């Protein structure tokens, strides 16, 4: 609890009577959570500390909700409690999300991980690296996850995929700042750099799919050259899967755009992973520790 009270101002075991009461209540809540979720007290407080370090504006009840959601995500995504808390905290701040929206993003990532060759941890890493840059181009967090899943599915490393997506965002939103080489590529496809930048703000997903479709209509020998001229040679390795796997990219976009497919995915994954002998033993140990 020392780590939690250190980073969250309104929790202090030696502060005002109100702060002391909140500290004691939260401490009891941590013990209660450990009897419901198979994580230790230390792991649960690591999640709370991650929220505090990221300056997540949250009250006592909100902190408990955040902690429970992040703990479930850690188990569902097969990662550490601290990592799950850090991801959720960063998504809340960088994408200006509510907790419900963060859970919705977690559902999308989990569903993509379950239905593609990329896993949830890899996709989460990419989404976190991109952060709020996606909103510059009108890309939703789920659409960033879909692009990341497409790249990772064909063997692109997470850091390379994140760099590639950033390059797509900054290049396609350049507008009048597009270089002569970039404008030449767009002219050959009958696309205006300014119009493309405007469309990225309104429908980034559609703009990216249409751009890649236009490149794919070129003679095969010219496609890689067009990508090099437009995005830069150093980015082609990361971006080319969006062209070669265009149908997969479209399919991934469809997955995160249909709530009936992904809703509740993380909760279901958590329930399945938590229902093991190992986790039941951990819950029993936690109950003894609480007592």
Residues near 203 by Cβ (< 8 Å), separated by ≥ 6? Answer: 138
- DSSP assignment of 164-195, as one string? HHHHHHHHHT-GGG--HHHHHHHHHTT--HHH
Supply the pLDDT for residue 63.
Answer: 84
User: Average pLDDT of the chain?
Assistant: 91
Residue 186 CA, distance from chain mean position: 31
Residues near 104 by Cβ (< 8 Å), separated by ≥ 6? Answer: 142, 263
- For the segment 215-253, what is each residue's pLDDT rounded down to a tens digit? 999 998 899 999 999 999 889 989 999 999 999 999 999
Cβ atoms of residues 141 and 91 within 8 Å: yes
Supply the pLDDT for residue 57.
Answer: 63
> For 71-79, what is the mean pLDDT?
94
Residues near 115 by Cβ (< 8 Å), separated by ≥ 6? Answer: 255
> For 44-70, what is the mean pLDDT?
82
Give the predicted TM-score (pTM) of the model. 0.91
């Amino acid at each position: 609890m020392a780590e939690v009270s250190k980073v969250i101002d309104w929790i202090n075991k030696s502060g005002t009577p109100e702060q002391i009461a909140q500290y004691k209540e939260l401490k009891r809540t941590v013990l209660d959570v450990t009897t419901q979720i198979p994580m230790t007290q230390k792991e649960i407080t690591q999640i709370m500390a991650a929220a505090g370090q990221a300056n997540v504006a949250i009250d006592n009840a909100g902190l408990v909700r955040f902690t429970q959601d992040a703990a479930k995500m850690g188990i569902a995504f097969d990662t550490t409690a601290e990592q799950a808390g850090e991801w959720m905290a960063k998504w809340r701040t960088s994408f200006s999300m509510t907790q419900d929206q963060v859970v919705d993003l977690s559902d999308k990532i989990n569903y993509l991980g379950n239905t593609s060759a990329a896993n949830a941890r890899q996709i989460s890493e990419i989404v976190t690296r991109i952060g709020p840059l996606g909103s510059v181009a009108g890309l939703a967090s789920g659409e960033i996850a879909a692009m990341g899943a497409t790249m990772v599915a064909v063997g692109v490393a997470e850091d390379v995929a994140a760099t590639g997506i950033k390059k797509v965002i900054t290049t396609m939103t350049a507008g009048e700042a597009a270089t002569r080489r970039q404008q030449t590529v767009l002219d050959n496809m009958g696309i205006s750099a300014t119009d493309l930048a405007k469309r990225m703000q309104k429908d980034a997903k559609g703009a990216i799919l249409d751009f890649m479709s236009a490149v794919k209509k070129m003679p095969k020998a010219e496609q890689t050259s067009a990508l090099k001229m437009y995005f830069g040679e150093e980015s082609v390795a990361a971006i080319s899967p969006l062209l070669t796997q265009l149908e997969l990219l479209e399919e991934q976009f469809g997955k995160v755009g249909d709530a009936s497919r992904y809703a509740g995915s993380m909760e279901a994954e958590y329930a399945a992973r938590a229902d093991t002998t190992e986790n039941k033993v951990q819950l029993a140990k936690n109950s003894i520790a609480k007592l």
